[in-house]
Amino acid sequence: MEWGLYSMVKYISSRGREFNLLSFDYAKLKDADFNKYSWDKDVVAQQFGEIVNRFKKSAQYYACTFRLNGTPNERKAKIEAFNFESEYDIAHMKTGRLYINNTYIEGYWVEVDSYPEDNGQLYTTLKKTFYAPYPFWINEQVIEIFPTPESHEEEDTKGYKPLEGRYGYSYSYASAGNAVFIDTEHYKDSDFRMIAYGPAPSVQWTIGSSLYEVDYPLRDNQYMVIDSRQNTPADRQCYVVSESGNITNVFDYRNPEGDIFKKIPSGNSVLVYPRTYGLQLTIYKERSEPL
C-alpha cells in the first residue's frame, strides 16, 4: 500500500493518547495490510456446487511495520510510550481506535517485535499487529438539526434558550417543514446514535414507515441518547442525561409498536419529527476497508 495516498494514519488509545503513525515523531508507518480482508461463508454442499446460506466475517488482524529514527535512547523511549498505551488498553479491556483518513476501526495491539537496523545507527524497526474483534471500519456521517424558527418563538415563553450554544452548529441537511432528507450514500443499512436535546414532552420521529418513539419527557438542559449498535452496553442503549450528569435508563419507556433500534436505510430517506427540539444523528457506515 502506498501510504502517501493517505493524509492521516493515527492511533488513539482508550484514554485518549494520540500517536501520528505517518510521522517519525512516534513511529512512521512503512508497511501494513489494512486493505486486506475476506468473507467466510456458511454453505450446504450439493451434487454440483453448493448453496450459500450466509456470509460472515471473522475478527481481523493487521500486521504493521514502523520505522523510528533519532538516537537509540530516543527510539527506545518512543517504542516504550507506544507499547505502554497498547498494554494499558489490554489491561483495562478497552479498545483504542486506529484511524485512516475519515474511517476508524477499534481494537488492540496484540503482537510486538522491535530490532535495530544497520547496527542500530540509523533507525529501529517496530512490528506490531492490530487485532479488531469487530471487523469493520467505520465512516461516521453526522446530521445535526435545529428546531424550526417557529419552534424557537413558541418555546421562548417557556424558558427555552436557543442562543446559549446548545444548538451552536450549522445546518448540514436539506429540509422542508418537519421533514429532513437523508442520503447515506452507502450500500447497506447502518447503525446509528441519536441525541435529542430537551426540553421536549417526548422523543419521537419516523423514517419512512418506521417509528422511533420514547415516551419520556426531557427538561431543559437534559438530553436523550438512543444507540442501536449491538456492542453497546444494555444500560447505554436508551438513556437520559441530566444537567448534573446523572444517567437514567429509559429503555422501558419506548413505544412497543415501533423499533427504536431499527437501522437507518441505505440511500435516500426522509426523517420526520415535530422540530420543536434539536437532534444530532450519527450514522455508522461500516466498511471492509478504510476509505
What pLDDT digit, counting tens, does each position of 244-273 carry?
999 999 999 999 999 999 999 999 999 999
The proportion of the chain whose per-residue pLDDT surpasses 90, expressed as a percent, equals: 73
Please state which architecture CATH assigns to domain 3-135.
Answer: Beta Barrel (2.40)
Domain boundaries, the chain: 3-135, 139-287
Compute the Cα dihedral for 116, 119, 120, 123 and give only its sign. Answer: negative
Higher pLDDT, 150 or 141: 141
Give the mean model confidence (pLDDT) for residues 170-176: 52
Helices (H), the chain: 72-91, 149-156
Write down the residue that cell numbers 494499558 correspond to: 88
Q: Is the pLDDT of residue 160 over 90?
A: no
pLDDT computed for residue 12 by the predictor: 97
Q: Is the pLDDT of residue 53 over 90?
A: yes
- Confidence band (pLDDT; 50, 70, 90) for 5? low
> Is 139-287 in the same CATH topology as 3-135?
no
pLDDT computed for residue 4 by the predictor: 55
pLDDT computed for residue 90 by the predictor: 98
C-alpha cell at 288: 471492509
Nearest-angstrom CA–CA distance, 181 and 264:
12
pLDDT computed for residue 150 by the predictor: 62
Q: Is the pLDDT of residue 167 over 80?
A: no
Cβ–Cβ under 8 Å, residues 105 and 97: yes
DSSP string, 131-142: EESS--EEEEEE
- Which segment of 32-36, 159-163, 275-279 scores lowest on mean pLDDT? 159-163
Give the mean model confidence (pLDDT) for residues 183-200: 94
Please state which architecture CATH assigns to domain 139-287.
Answer: Sandwich (2.60)
Nearest-angstrom CA–CA distance, 228 and 284:
10
Strand ranges inside the chain, DSSP E: 9-12, 18-20, 28-32, 40-45, 50-56, 60-68, 96-100, 103-117, 123-132, 137-145, 174-176, 179-183, 191-197, 203-207, 210-214, 223-227, 238-241, 247-249, 268-272, 278-287
State the pTM of this model: 0.86
C-alpha cell at 224: 436523550
